[in-house]
Structure 1
Amino acid sequence: MTATTANSERSTFNPGKGAGQPVGIAILGHGTVGSEVLRLMGEHSEAFAHRIGGPLELKGVAVSDLSKPREGVDPELITDDAMSLIERDDVDIVVEVIGGIEYPRKLVLAALNAGKSVVTANKALVAAHADELADAADAANVDLYFEAAVAAAIPVVGMLRRSLAGDNIQRISGIVNGTTNFILDAMDSTGANYDDALAEATALGYAEADPTADVEGHDAASKAAILASLGFHTRVKFDDVHCEGITGVTAADIEAAREAGYTIKLLAICERVTDNEGREAVSARVHPTLVRREHPLAAVNESYNAIFVEAEAAGSLMFYGNGAGGAPTASAVLGDVVGAARNKVHGGRAPGENTYANLPIADFGVVPTRYHIDMEVVDRVGVLSEVAAKFSARGVSLKTVRQEESGENARLIVVTHTATEADLSATVEELSAMPDVKAINSVIRLGA
């Protein structure tokens, strides 16, 4: 059953438990986020009861290791049998903060199929299996919330689902990974190389012991898939997102960007792409991007996140804040819990997935972009015109060309006008094959 079919066939009547009735909560996971969710639930229980119309009652916490101490949690509530906890009749909402994909997928589907609403902070799960989860939620007429899956406390999912539901979104771009933003900001502000900036991020706790998911762009790609799906009413999965990380960014790249009036950010970019015949498609990509110094995204420093939305009627909007961490993520999780609990008490259901547009995913080669190319060439008369001819042959026009001395060679820094990714990529390959081009130091796309 497709989401569209499910949306049209499901019953929209959900009478609710009634004002004052308790809402049973099961939490799967007690790590950084899960422990903060429990702490905030306890500290603000009275306020939540007023906001919901009935109290939240913790029914259990599922963990993988019963031997670990769980400070602040009644031992009677801790279990290593998550499935049995999910299946209890007194559980109304399941909160999944485990992480990973396959095991959480099994648990979340079981919860939805059992008629429980689900709140998850798991971006990898949502990006990989949004269609399956949405269909299960529709079939059971329950809520599936995942505000915390994109940028922790930044309310971008709710904004796309509700606040901008009356508008047409053209483009979403943003910094959605705090680790990579910290590294690039450190390189920009101190002149550090990548390895030193990564070491600092690790020492300060911004980077994991294995930072691969962050620095290779995988974390941001999961979030880009979610943003594109919501923004363009089209199912976009992780595998649909073109992904490049920051491991190849050098201190020389940062300095060249600065000299040209840019900074480098790892951006998630989701946009509508229209071909020459007016056919629309969706592009979702993650890669290091040159951002103009005067653009609001350029000022997003340290581990902060920001998402820039361009809509037809609303114009340009930016959402900024903590995009990671236990407390910010728990804030978003609990916002979803309050929403789902209100529906359990008073009836109704939040807006679910809507993929009515069903746009195709654009081939990366047709995506329009601009390049900043830094190369070493033989310093002789005529080389510049030969290089320019390679761009011209592909229909790529040059916006600026700067030449500097570089030992026995010359350094050429070229900024192009907009062309397709395929034409620009082919041009770079042809430049690399020229005998007088000694090195392509870097190729970075221009964005905001």
Structure 2
Amino acid sequence: MANQRSEPIDILILSNGPGEVANWVRPVVRELRQQWGSDRTQLRISVILSPCTNAMGTEAEVVRGFEGCDRVQAADHFWPFLLWGKTREDWDWRPTGIVIFLGGDQVFPVVIGKRLGYKIVIYAEWEARWPRWVDRFAVMNEAVTQKLPPHSRHKAQVVGDLLRDVEQSSSPAATETEWIGILPGSKPMKLTQGVPTAIAIANRLKPLRPQSRIAIPIAPTLDPATLARYADPEFNAIAARFDNATATLITPPAAPPYLQTAQGNRIDLWTDYPAHDRLRHCQICITTIGANTAELAALGVPMCVIIPTQQIDAMRAWDGVPGLIANLPGIGTAFVTAFNSVMYWHYQRREKQGKKILYAWPNLWAGREIVPELVGEVATPDAIATCIDALCNDPTRLAQMRTDLQGVRGQSGAARALVAGLAALLEPMREPPRG
């Protein structure tokens, strides 16, 4: 428990998207309470969210469910706080505190920390920025430290990979069931494409592997009814473009909900979150590019990554400027058509030259294709199902994939190491926690 003689402090955590909230904020809040105590008069934990293109808008509610968190502000109210220091509920701040960056733009903790007069700690997964104004970098591995200017490297502490901390949770009993996971995304534009694609894959995969069970883990920002709407062609027009890629939500009175496809196939819905224990038991998962590939890599779960650029509407789910332009009325469709044609031509040209373009995070980290990527016209439900069947029939390749995935991430125990290193920042203002 925390030293009762020490000066009361505030911990302000800055974060943004659903992945960062679940995989970074959650373990750090837990470790803060375990190492520093539960006495709110001594330690108060606040979380402020910044806007994120991947957000669903319910991230604040998710954080409020974390035991140990005292105050939460949603992303809608971020800019007034960044610019003028004004929170929606007019929070007060203690004289002593630490700002911890766990997602967003690394300039945010610099601005906010300097205004509050707090120490600034940035968790840097791949790159550490603003070293002149930051007090401590908690970095994933030594490679991040080496990117810092030599005179700033003393500020870096290698803590490991926060995503690897998900491996520390208890695992359920081993099961002989062959599970295949499909991760369609969490935000509306990705679900528009992802859910019909998942249903089409399930329909084609089931005849190939009748012994397998297929599941979709549901993000905390979603519920089964919302997910099921994207399988309804009356709500989601894209669902009608696939062959029988529709499904109905079944909610048994004393059993978990599931989707039943028009062809009679079942897709289980995992509503417990995070579903790390379930995902670890998957033989393989199917996902698009993004944070899911990093999370699965941390869990050591083999995956097949799909990038269906040949589908005109796929790009409307992209982040950044291309996604914004793609959704503009009038010019959006023309832009998507032209952009997709150029992109796929460039991809094929690089393939013929032997210079493969990599998209999934674990492949980018390794500089080679650890997990297969199906891009463009080859990313059809039939091709994906065939690829998954071949991989499941090759246990040697799956085992090597697991080993390679575990090798590209940092060590576990990052949350514990990050929190343990905070006490030194506050000396001599406070003594390290005891007990």
Shorter chain as denominator, the TM-score bin is: 0.3 to 0.5
Larger-gyration structure (1/2): 1
TM-score (norm 1): 0.32
Structure showing the higher strand proportion among its residues: 1
TM-score, normalised by the number of residues in structure 2: 0.33
